[in-house]
Amino acid sequence: MGSEIRFILNDDEVVARKPAGRTVLDFVRRDRRLVGTKVGCREGDCGACTVLVGRRAEEGRVRYRSMTSCLMPLGNAHGAHVVTVEGLNVDGLSPDGLNPVQRAMAEEGATQCGFCTVGFVVSLAGFCLAAEEITAEEAVAAIDGNICRCTGYKSIERAAARVSAALAPADVEERVGWLASNGWIPASFVSIPGRLAELGASVPYEGTASGTGRRGSVGGGTDLWVQRPEEMEGAPVDLLLDDPRLRGIREEGGRIVLGASTTVQEMRESPLLLRLFPRLKRHLKLVSSTPIRNMATLGGNLVNASPIGDLTIFLLALEAELLLADGETRRRLPLADLYRGYKELDLATDERVVSISFAAPGGGTRFNFEKVSKRTHLDIASVNSALRLEVEDGVIREGTLAAGGVAPVPFRLPATSAGLAGRPAAAETARWAAASALEEIAPISDVRGSAEYKRLLLRQLVYAHFVELFPETVPVEALL
Amino acid sequence: MRNIDSAGHLRGESLYLDDLPELEGTLHAAVFGSPVAHGRVRRLEIGPALETPGVVAVLTAAEIPGENQIGGILPDEPLLAEDEVHYDGQPMAIVVAVDEAVARRATRAIRAEIDELPAITDPREARRRGLLIQPPRTFSCGDVDAAWEDCAYVVEGVAESGGQEHLYLETQGAYAHRTEKGGLRIWSSTQGPTVVQRCVARVLGLPMKEIEVDVTRLGGGFGGKEDQASAWATMAALASLRTARPVKLVPHRLDDLRMTGTRHPYSSDFRIGLDEDLKIVAYEVTFHQNAGAAADLSPAVLERTLFHATNAYFVPNVRATAYSCRTNLAPNTAFRGFGGPQGMFVMEAAIAAVAERAGVEAAEIQRRNLVRVGDTFPYGQAVDEPTAEATWDRCAERYDLAGLRRRVAEHNARDPVRKLGLAVMPIAFGIAFTKTHMNQASVLVHVYGDGSVGVSTAAVEMGQGINTKLVQIAARVLSIDPSRVKIETTNTTRVANTSPTAASASADLNGHALVRACSAIRGRLLSLAANELGLEAGSVDLREERVVVGATATRLGRESLDWESLVRAAFFRRVDLSEHAFYATPGIHFDAETEKGSPFGYLVYGTAIVLASVDRLRGTYEIEAVHVVHDVGESLNPTVDGGQVEGGIVQGIGWMTMEEVIYDEAGRLRSGALSTYKIPDVYAAPKRLEYELFETESGNGAVYRSKAVGEPPLMYGIGAFFAIRDAIRAASPEARPSLVAPLTPERVLLALYPQGERATEAAFAEGEESPAEVR
Ligand SMILES: Cc1cc2nc3c(=O)[nH]c(=O)nc-3n(C[C@H](O)[C@H](O)[C@H](O)COP(=O)(O)OP(=O)(O)OC[C@H]3O[C@@H](n4cnc5c(N)ncnc54)[C@H](O)[C@@H]3O)c2cc1C
Ligand code: FES
Ligand code: FES
């Protein structure tokens, strides 16, 4: 067990004797004076602080993902390769000192005040290193967590398109080697897999002895460092993100089991889940942004207990069940029973979520997720909702409706869910379900919308579920 | 030419305030703000904060050596509140500590005992109570009261536009340290170095000469750092003075949002009258500007609202009255457009409303009433170019307005869910500071012995590309390669009495002054060259770094006479290689007694077509396309100008759609974080954005005829509001969406279904079984 955080920062091996709860942002800017990484919000919402984090993956490779360093606890860098813009600059190859990503942005006029720019460069580098599909669309998707107030984005989109076009010949098998030998990234990237293996970080990081009291569970940190940043710096933490026992997505005896530390992005990339939920990619694109999805865990989403947590709503409709562990003591709990009141949980102080499981969808399963927020992407829902139906011969055998933003807890609507059974997959059922749902909910007016709006919106989202799931039998005109 | 800062920005090597290397012993400050929006202060308990380990000082108003006053236009704003507080977050004390986190944490140990008074957030209520920043102002022309008689259509209504956070990606900030003999040097993230200098001098009781302000660049300003950078710089300066240590004050984003103001929200009443031919005969408007708790720049912003009350239209009979209302919000301030967008929005709302009444397309009315040469605006300035109509017609032709409209109708007939809407948005925006005396600038140019050139001006680089344009201008006048020119930091010891970088006017003012300075040096060098060559003055010229006679290069002895040898010769011949030059915009004037004059050097025109789609099921929308023809005169840098067009449009769309500043009844900001205040992301930008930089022949006062471009494009964003509104009406012809911006998804859905979900329950009651039975 170690109390040192070991990782590679750009080209340097680092042994940090700092609290695990210090943010990577403060570490690089303050402790290392790498001031290329900027501070825009410290809330994960602007992307100015984006860094790449490479972790060892299958076949001795390193898998890079973008993350907002303002919310990333230093402890989660243990064993990883952390890359800031300083580690992406390629010197001595071109007269302007720019790598192809940077040059594309310069040529398209994609930088004005420049404060956001580094974040975009890093996110696009992440695309170059890790994208499975090299398309302009995916290049733009890589910058969905970066806010720019000056350019209006069009020039950045053009630069992203250029990057993806120039990347087309890249060898997919040997991407890092190709990028390094073509001057996209420093040559030192090539040796990183070997260096990470030798880092001695196989000893898991055990957290600092500093601070007393209970060690709190930490997943990706995307909630904790927004809610309690100052407290977290010195807090004793139990880092769960890399715990192999909490990871993985598998099918077990007709159930789908997701480790609690599975990230949203990992769900979005899981072949198993994509097979079962063909629209999953689209649905999960509505959850936060690429760098946040790269950090945010399922366990964190559920335990955070936000009444509008997207994954929570998703899983409530799937009638998911939790496996909880407190030391050796284990128990199972239906997800819906976890929530007792606003941010009040049926979870003991030292209890951890180990995994979440739900019955594998069958041939008759229909599932849809809807979310409306002020800004479509990188925003918290005004109302979100998921509907799962088991349909046989045009008749609903049973189903569950869940909705967020309409109650003090993420809400599984019991009466409406129960009443779905036996009804036809038709517009009249949509109307009935909406009306029934409105009887069950009690939204409050807040910054995400008035109660009146949230009620109307839930009705519309229930309609949208039916229109999406039954385009043949539920003509949209019937619900307008 | 690319932005000269691109490489530094892209490599992360450009330095912003918080990136400067720290001086030994630097302390960090955080600000304690009032916990309530309005009240009388009984006691401020700073003891526990002072005892926090790591805290070096806690400063209150009592520590201020000079005047506790930072108001620029009116003296109505203390740096630190004493007896009363007027908005939530109003600075009351400064905590200075060894690091930022300690300072911030210690602010929570401060207790303010305050007897709360009612908070006013609504400008109309403030007006009712007589809480005005200044007496109301009225611009008028013709005879409005008599004109209604001649109108075939008269419509009146209410239009409201909301606040807008600047959301410069770099927050406010300053870094101060003492220099010898009791002076201070301050690095500040400000658009107005002299504004900061004046403010610090006043509060610290020092002459301006003791205060040096230096600005490298800003990570965005948008008006938010024109006046409101001063408080932060002054607090850092005060802290440095009192602790005798360097002090950095960079507020956390949450403090920045809470403690600084936004674009002014407006609530306005309008009445518009048209004749049978759809000519606007009369327009009457009353603006209620929500100024917040102090004047700040509100009177000047209000004035520009009045200037642009009729946007790009000629209206013979106008009465526009504006009230600047004092409320208990953080003082609102300059924001790109400076009151102009708020005025134009009401005009466009009035046109939309009367178009509905008359049963015609708004565009019919808009096109027919655009200003022509010889028309005058209500404040007296005459229109001297045909560009309003020219850009409209060019835009309609180039982007096929008629075809677009047809395709929208066809699509809407086909698609029951996704409805398209279209709007056209013409603009006319005056260029100059409306306070005539501010239209001045000076520069200082040094040519060094090796032929490289250093340029200091009053302009601050904040992403708008001013430094690139200044390099181009210097290189052009001196006939040298741009790489020889460096733009220095903006510094009050090199260039004094600067006007802030604002009003889109900086390239003009500083550019003209730079032309003068460089021309003077060029003139001296050419006379020297003629002299050396034994030729007549005037017969030699400088071209591409060479002294030429006609087209032939010249030689001096064995060497060809190029830029470097010429400069060397000048040095040895004791010719002055430096120049200070000054420029004041000629011919502009305005008389506030009569509210008439010709305050602008010129106007910028343009037209945008905006296409939006609304999802009728969910109430969400997208901006499908924006097509623009934008008047540039003759662009000095199409990349930079195009960037301003694109960026301005998206910012304007944000203001009109998703950016919603929300206060609760107690005057607390509810949208005070990036998680609750949303500005456009990459997916919220228009899917297509095309523009043409429209060149004109008419003379204008711009430097090299390249018109100012910073602010005007923002106002095209207003078109997004009306395009979405058009789509709502396509979805639901009986919908009468109110004229309240921003048009959030909430407002859209509620407009689409005016009975709300009550209709659902009614349907439910008829015939369906009740959920109680199912339960
Ligand atoms: C910019 C931004 C955008 C966001 N957008 C969205 C969005 O669109 N939709 C959405 O739903 N959420 C959103 N979130 C919220 C957040 O990202 C998610 O809730 C995320 O899933 C939290 O996971 P985490 O691992 O980062 O949580 P952490 O911050 O690590 O933990 C959150 C809580 O869960 C506890 N916890 C974590 N793991 C376990 C475990 N295994 N057992 C027991 N307790 C545990 C922690 O102790 C803590 O109390 C956003 C957050 C940010 C910063
Ligand atoms: S600083 Fe804004 S996302 Fe980290
Ligand atoms: S260039 Fe200024 S925020 Fe993007």
- B169 and A434 in contact by Cβ < 8 A? no
CB crowding B173-206: b at 16 or more within 10 Å, else e: bbbbbbeeeebbbbbbbbbbbbbbbbbbbbbbeb
Catalytic residue among B67, B559, B711, B757: B711
- Residue scoring higher pLDDT (A213 or A210): A213
Note the pLDDT tens digit of each residue in B30-62.
Answer: 999 999 999 999 999 999 999 999 999 999 999
How does residue B773 score in pLDDT terms, banded at 50, 70 and 90?
very low
Q: Give chain A's end-to-end CA distance (angstroms, integer).
A: 61
CA quadruple B411, A431, A281, A226: dihedral positive or negative?
A: positive
Which of B217, B465, B647 is the closest to A152 by Cβ?
B647
Distance CA B508, CA A422 (A): 74
Task: Determine the distance in angstroms separating the CA of B166 from the nearest CA of chain A, rounded to an integer.
Answer: 9
pLDDT averaged over every residue in chain B: 96
Mean pLDDT, rounded, for A201-218: 63
* Cβ contacts of B75-80, under 8 Å, gap ≥ 24: B76/B133, B76/B294, B76/B295, B77/B293, B77/B294, B77/B295, B77/B296, B77/B331, B79/B203, B79/B231, B79/B234, B79/B235, B79/B238, B80/B235
C-alpha B163 to ligand 3 mean position (Å) = 21
- The yes/no answer on whether domain B266-433+595-752 falls in CATH 3.30.365.10 is yes
- B678 and A113 in contact by Cβ < 8 A? no
Q: Which part of chain B has CATH 3.90.1170.50?
A: 6-117+166-259
Give the pLDDT of residue B755.
Answer: 86
Give the pLDDT of residue A209.
Answer: 39
B9 reaches A (C-beta below 8 A):
yes
pLDDT tops 80 at residue B457:
yes
Distance CA B561, CA A108 (A): 38
Q: Which of A446, A376, A440, A375 is nearest to A403 (CA)?
A: A440
Distance CA A220, CA A71 (A): 8
pLDDT tops 80 at residue A210:
no
C-alpha B759 to ligand 3 mean position (Å) = 46
Largest distance between two CA atoms of chain A: 71
In terms of DSSP H, where are the helices of B151-247?
193-204, 230-243
Q: Where are the domains of chain A?
A: 1-199, 244-479
Backbone conformation region of residue B292, classed left if phi is above 0, alpha if psi is from -120 to 50, else beta: left
Give the pLDDT of residue B259.
Answer: 98
How does residue B700 score in pLDDT terms, banded at 50, 70 and 90?
confident
Give the pLDDT of residue B2.
Answer: 87
Backbone conformation region of residue B504, classed left if phi is above 0, alpha if psi is from -120 to 50, else beta: left
Contact A324/A317 with Cβ under 8 angstroms?
Answer: no
The residues, ordered by sequence, that sit 6+ positions from B387 with a Cβ below 8 Å of its Cβ are B603, B605, B631, B694, B696, B698
How does residue B698 score in pLDDT terms, banded at 50, 70 and 90?
confident
C-alpha A387 to ligand 1 mean position (Å) = 23
Give the pLDDT of residue A206.
Answer: 62
Q: What are phi and psi of A150, to 5 degrees?
A: -100, -50
Note the pLDDT tens digit of each residue in A46-79.
Answer: 999 999 999 999 888 999 999 999 999 999 999 9
A151 lines ligand 3 (CB under 6 A): yes
A447 reaches B (C-beta below 8 A):
yes
Contact B732/B752 with Cβ under 8 angstroms?
Answer: yes
How does residue A199 score in pLDDT terms, banded at 50, 70 and 90?
confident
CB pairs under 8 A between A and B: 274
Contact B694/B629 with Cβ under 8 angstroms?
Answer: yes
* Architecture, CATH, for domain B6-117+166-259: Alpha-Beta Complex (3.90)
Q: Which CATH class is domain A244-479?
A: alpha beta
Mean pLDDT, rounded, for A186-206: 84
What angle, rounded to 10 degrees, do the helices at B340-358 and B298-307 form? 40
> CA-CA-CA-CA torsion for A273, A277, A280, A282, nearest 10 degrees?
150
Q: SS3 of B274, please?
A: strand
Mean pLDDT, rounded, for B532-540: 91
Q: Which of B412, B536, B545 is nearest to B478 (CA)?
A: B545
Residue with CA nearest ligand 3 atom 4: A148
Note the pLDDT tens digit of each residue in A76-120.
Answer: 999 999 999 999 999 988 899 999 999 999 999 999 999 999 999
B288 DSSP β-pair partners: B267, B323
For the complex shown, is ipTM > 0.85? Answer: yes
**What does each C-alpha distance from B55 to A265, B107, B333 come to in angstroms?**
42, 10, 33
Give the pLDDT of residue B497.
Answer: 97
Partners of residue A156 in chain B, C-beta under 8 Å: 682
Provide the percentage of residues in chain A whose pLDDT is more than 70: 96
Q: Which residues line ligand 1 (CB under 6 A)?
A: A 43-45, 71, 216-224, 226, 240, 246, 260, 287-288, 292, 295-297, 299-301, 303-304, 309-311, 352-353, 380
Helix (H) or strand (E) holding B161: strand B153-161
Distance CA B612, CA B422 (A): 6
Pairing of strands B317-326, B280-292: parallel
Give me the residue label for tokens 């999406």.
Answer: A468
Provide the percentage of residues in chain B whose pLDDT is more than 90: 94
User: CB-based burial of residue A392 (10 Å sphere; 0-12 exposed, 13-18 middle, 19+ buried)?
Assistant: exposed
Q: Of A69, A149, A228, which to mutate for an interface test with B (greatest number of B Cβ within 10 Å)?
A: A149
CATH T-level fold of B440-584 = Aldehyde Oxidoreductase; domain 4 (3.30.365)
Q: Which residues line ligand 2 (CB under 6 A)?
A: A 39-42, 44-49, 68, 70
Q: Of A154, A158, A465, which to mutate for an interface test with B (greatest number of B Cβ within 10 Å)?
A: A154
Give the pLDDT of residue B615.
Answer: 98
Distance CA B276, CA B692 (A): 34
Give the pLDDT of residue A298.
Answer: 98
Note the pLDDT tens digit of each residue in B215-258.
Answer: 999 999 999 999 999 999 999 999 999 999 999 999 999 999 99
- B749 and A456 in contact by Cβ < 8 A? yes
pLDDT tops 60 at residue B634:
yes
Q: Which CATH class is domain A1-199?
A: alpha beta
pLDDT tops 80 at residue B729:
yes
The whole-model pTM stands at 0.97
Q: Which of B611, B610, B621 is nearest to B752 (CA)?
A: B621
The rounded radius of gyration (Å) of the Cα atoms in chain A is 23
Q: Which part of chain B has CATH 3.30.365.10?
A: 266-433+595-752, 440-584
Per this entry, what is the length of chain B? 775
Q: SS3 of A293, please?
A: helix
Please provide the DSSP assignment of B215-238 as one string.
E---S--TTTTTSTTHHHHHHHHH
Distance CA B724, CA B745 (A): 10
Q: Which amino acid is at B510?
A: N
**What does each C-alpha distance from A453 to A442, B2, B160, B750 come to in angstroms?**
12, 47, 20, 7
CA quadruple B10, B11, B17, B18: dihedral positive or negative?
A: positive
How does residue B761 score in pLDDT terms, banded at 50, 70 and 90?
low
**What does each C-alpha distance from B740 to A454, B162, B653 come to in angstroms?**
19, 8, 14
Give me the residue label for tokens 């009240």.
Answer: B39
Pairing of strands B596-598, B589-591: antiparallel
Give the pLDDT of residue B766.
Answer: 45
pLDDT tops 90 at residue A211:
no
Please provide the DSSP assignment of B82-142 as one string.
-SEE-STT-EEEEEEESSHHHHHHHHTT-EEEEEE------HHHHHHTT-BSS--EEEEES
Note the pLDDT tens digit of each residue in B578-612.
Answer: 999 999 999 999 999 999 999 999 999 999 999 99
How does residue B538 score in pLDDT terms, banded at 50, 70 and 90?
confident
pLDDT tops 90 at residue A213:
no
Helix (H) or strand (E) holding B487: strand B485-487
Q: SS3 of B297, please?
A: coil
Q: How many CA atoms lie within 13 A of A39 on its CB side?
A: 24
How does residue A202 score in pLDDT terms, banded at 50, 70 and 90?
low
B146 lines ligand 3 (CB under 6 A): no
pLDDT tops 70 at residue B772:
no
C-alpha B251 to ligand 3 mean position (Å) = 19
C-alpha A406 to ligand 2 mean position (Å) = 29
The residues, ordered by sequence, that sit 6+ positions from A78 with a Cβ below 8 Å of its Cβ are A5, A6, A7, A201, A204, A205, A239, A242
- Which ligand 3 atom lies nearest to the CA of residue A112? 1
Q: SS3 of A62, please?
A: strand
pLDDT averaged over every residue in chain A: 95
- Residue in A closest to B105 by C-alpha: A230
Q: Quick one: DSSP state of residue A182?
A: T
Distance CA B249, CA A346 (A): 44
How does residue A208 score in pLDDT terms, banded at 50, 70 and 90?
very low
pLDDT tops 60 at residue B452:
yes
Examine the residue annotation and report whether B212 is marked as an active-site residue of this protein.
no
Please provide the DSSP assignment of A354-395 as one string.
EEEEEEPP-TTEEEEEEEE-SSSSSS--SEEEEEEEEEETTE
**What does each C-alpha distance from A248 to A56, A242, A243, A244, A263 come to in angstroms?**
15, 11, 10, 8, 10
Give the pLDDT of residue A2.
Answer: 56
Helix (H) or strand (E) holding B282: strand B280-292
The residues, ordered by sequence, that sit 6+ positions from B560 with a Cβ below 8 Å of its Cβ are B546, B553, B554
**What does each C-alpha distance from B28 to A214, B174, B236 come to in angstroms?**
31, 10, 9
- A115 and B169 in contact by Cβ < 8 A? yes
Tell me the best of A43, A72, A122, A226 to mutate to test the pocket of ligand 2, counting ligand atoms within 8 Å of each CB and taking the most: A43
CB crowding B612-627: b at 16 or more within 10 Å, else e: bbbbbbbbbbbbbbbb
The residues, ordered by sequence, that sit 6+ positions from A478 with a Cβ below 8 Å of its Cβ are A427
